[in-house]
Amino acid sequence: MKKMENPLELIKSIQKPTKSDSLISEYILENPVEVVRQNLSSLAKSTKTSNTAIMRFCQKIGYQGFSEFKYDLSRYILSGESSSTQNSENPADISDRIGHITDKYVQYLNRLNAELDIDETKALVKSICTSKRIVILGFNRTGLSAKQLSLRLGKIGISSQSIVDYPVMVDYSNILSKDDLVVVFSISAASMYKDVCKQMKQSGCNVVLITMTPQSNLKNNVTSTIVLPRISRSGDISFLDDQAIFFVLIEILVGETAVYLRKS
């Protein structure tokens, strides 16, 4: 099957689109990075269409199915070509692509420096040093951040448990109690954490949410929230990962925790 280099141009070339085609096209063209992160059902929900409509749409533009289209779209975004087509000042040379990515991360790290809530950060560091038990929750990609914080704390002599499986989170929600700390990594403050966080908070745990979504109902089920800038929605079509921002925060927490321990 012949494929063009630019899957977005394939979408624009559809002749006589149906109503479903138009809904799907508009969403993908406006949110290509988000589409790469979605599955078939979630995309159908976002476009107010159906799984069948999306499959037919993908076949109409030359793909066997959604998975094949998503793979090509992901590869295209990662190549940097999508940014260069929208911005003539961003050449396709490798040095320019490297500069574009590193400049974007520098921009967001500067935002982290300016926007990080110092009081909430200091409170979390103190809780890390004084809590009886520390449990760190993460799921899917944020599971990497949960594991990283646990590993880095271990380097300075602080024991913690990272949990990335939901059934185990539920088990721990019935075990933890007063004087325990729960740190939750969630980019979108996912509702899947609602029940476990509510139970842990009711048990007297200090539940700290680290997220990139300022407004979320999950905030009502935690003790405090630290909000970070979300680079994956930076405004241009760049497939950048939010975990790098989480990892920098982790280094800040570990460094401040080491300082706190030395002063204690």
Angle between helices 40-47 and 51-60 (to 10 degrees): 100
Amino acid identity for residue 23 in this structure: L
Residue bearing tokens 């680079």: 231
What CATH number matches the domain at 97-263, 3.30.300.90, 3.40.1390.20, 3.30.1330.10, 3.40.50.10490?
3.40.50.10490
Residues above pLDDT 70, as percent of the chain:
91
Query: What is the reported pLDDT for 238?
Result: 55
Query: Span 7-88: which CATH code?
Result: 1.10.10.10
Per-residue pLDDT, averaged over 118-129, amounts to 97
Residue scoring higher pLDDT (259 or 220): 259
Q: Return the top range by mean pLDDT from 98-112, 198-212, 232-246.
A: 198-212
How large is the average pLDDT for residues 178-183?
96
Q: Which of 244, 229, 257 is nearest to 116 (CA)?
A: 229
Ranges of each domain in the chain:
7-88, 97-263
DSSP string, 164-205: --HHHHHHHHTT--TTEEEEEEETT--GGGHHHHHHHHHTT-
Query: What does residue 188 show for φ and ψ, rounded to 5 degrees?
Result: -105, 10
Do domains 7-88 and 97-263 share one topology? The answer is no
- Identify whether the C-beta of residue 87 lies closer than 8 Å to the C-beta of residue 104: no
pTM: 0.72
Each residue's pLDDT tens digit, 28-44: 988 888 898 889 999 99
Could you say which DSSP state residue 133 is in?
Answer: E
pLDDT-derived band at 141, boundaries 50, 70, 90: confident
